[in-house]
């Protein structure tokens, strides 16, 4: 893996010469390569210990090893003048995200193939925490994962609860579902269950967890759990 070091912002801006802004946050196209920059936010972050670029490089390597289409990373960008920044350079993936597909192109074949694709990498133990329609590229009847910093790899197929959690983010973006259509979402989930070879019990559990996650505000639940833990610690100290 080649590393490119930047000692000053000027050297970084020179590197971006002739690069085309793709319209996404800190993403440029230069030749046949995409340049993606990440910023570590806040005063306390795991990004200071392990940069987002190193996570993506590691995850992309594991995905490619599992034969799951994803990023082909050629370079890591190291910002010596700003430890909050990191970046990668990867080969441009043609096509567009499922989120950006015209509605007329969202066919039943595409939806069922997407359900099969997700079932396949879940079966391989890949928990893609950032799984939504904007992080899946579609091109020439194939799919590929992008923005792969948040992935857990397990040596076994995902448990039912983990599978439902993976869909939580996909279904929470109402604009995505409105464009994708509710009927296509139902078809996607139906195909996913079929390809996952769920038993009757697993089907019931998957539906229960999914409905539960749709009914409750996940952030509020996490906040309440955090407050309960804080109060318990406080009472223990007193």
Per-residue pLDDT band at 175 (split at 50, 70, 90): very high
Cut 0.85: pTM above it: no
DSSP 132-143: SGGGEEEETTEE
Domains of the chain by range and CATH?
2-91 (3.30.200), 96-219 (1.10.510.10)
- Write the CB contacts of 224 (distance below 8 Å, at least 6 apart in sequence): none
**Under the phi-then-psi rule, with left for phi > 0, alpha for psi from -120 to 50, and beta for the rest, what region is 217?**
beta
Confidence of residue 112 (pLDDT cuts 50, 70, 90): very high
Interval 82-100: pLDDT, tens: 888 999 999 999 999 999 9
Query: Strand locations in the chain, DSSP E?
Result: 2-6, 20-21, 27-30, 33-39, 73-79, 85-91, 96-97, 126-128, 136-139, 142-145, 151-153
Sign, CA torsion 16/19/23/24: negative
Structure confidence by residue, pLDDT tens digits, 24-43: 778 899 999 999 998 876 55
Question: What confidence tens digit (pLDDT) does each residue in 182-231 have?
Answer: 999 999 999 999 999 999 999 999 999 888 877 666 666 667 777 888 78
Mean pLDDT computed over every residue of the chain: 89
pLDDT at 23: 73
Q: Retrieve residue 190's tokens.
A: 């139906």
Q: Is pLDDT of 117 > 70? A: yes
**Percentage of residues of the chain with pLDDT beyond 90:** 63
**What is the Cα–Cα distance from 38 to 15, expressed in whole angstroms?**
16
Range from 6-10, 90-94, 123-127 that averages highest in pLDDT: 123-127
């Amino acid at each position: 893996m080649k590393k490119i070091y930047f000692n000053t912002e000027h050297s970084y801006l020179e590197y971006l010469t002739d690069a085309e802004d793709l319209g996404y946050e800190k993403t440029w196209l230069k030749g046949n390569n995409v340049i993606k920059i990440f910023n570590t936010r806040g005063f306390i972050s795991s990004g200071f210990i392990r940069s987002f670029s190193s996570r993506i490089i590691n995850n992309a390597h594991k995905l490619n090893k599992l034969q799951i289409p994803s990023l082909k990373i050629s370079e890591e960008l190291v910002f010596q003048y700003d430890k909050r920044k990191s970046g990668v350079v990867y080969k441009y993936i043609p096509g567009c995200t499922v989120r950006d597909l015209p509605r007329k192109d969202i066919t039943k074949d595409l939806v069922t193939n997407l359900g099969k694709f997700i079932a396949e990498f879940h079966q391989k133990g890949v928990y893609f925490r950032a799984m939504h329609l904007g992080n899946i590229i579609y091109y020439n009847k194939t799919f590929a994962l992008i923005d792969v910093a948040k992935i857990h790899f397990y040596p076994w197929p995902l448990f039912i609860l983990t599978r439902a959690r993976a869909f939580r983010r996909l279904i929470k973006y109402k604009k995505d579902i409105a464009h994708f259509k509710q009927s296509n979402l139902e078809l996607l989930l139906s195909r996913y269950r079929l390809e996952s070879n769920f038993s009757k019990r697993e089907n019931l559990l998957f539906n229960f967890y999914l409905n539960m996650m749709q009914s409750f505000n996940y952030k509020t639940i996490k906040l309440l759990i955090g407050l309960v833990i804080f109060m318990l610690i406080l009472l223990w100290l007193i």
